[in-house]
Amino acid sequence: MDSRIHTLEIPTPFPVGPVNVYLIEGREPALIDTGPNTSEAWESLQQAIVRVERRGGLLYERAS
């Protein structure tokens, strides 16, 4: 499978505003997470990954 890179915007509580997180598809998906360790950022990240999956991304077998 070819690699695809998804840019996900994650909110921060800081004046800088939102930051980008990068989700890289491939044989073994990778996540480059530059977001803050907040519950809002975690929820936003989970929602963004679901949106990628709904668009047909992240075609890999999940561990059960």
- Model pLDDT for residues 8-43, shown as the tens digit of each residue: 999 999 999 999 999 988 778 888 988 899 999 999
User: What is the residue extent of each domain of the chain?
Assistant: 5-54
Enter the DSSP assignment of 56: T
Closest by alpha carbon to 23, among 58, 63, 64, 54?
Answer: 58
0.75 surpassed by pTM = no
Query: What's the pLDDT score for residue 16?
Result: 92
- Determine the pLDDT at residue 64: 44
Please give the pLDDT value at position 54.
78
Residues with Cβ within 8 Å of residue 58, at least 6 apart in sequence? 23, 25, 29, 49, 52
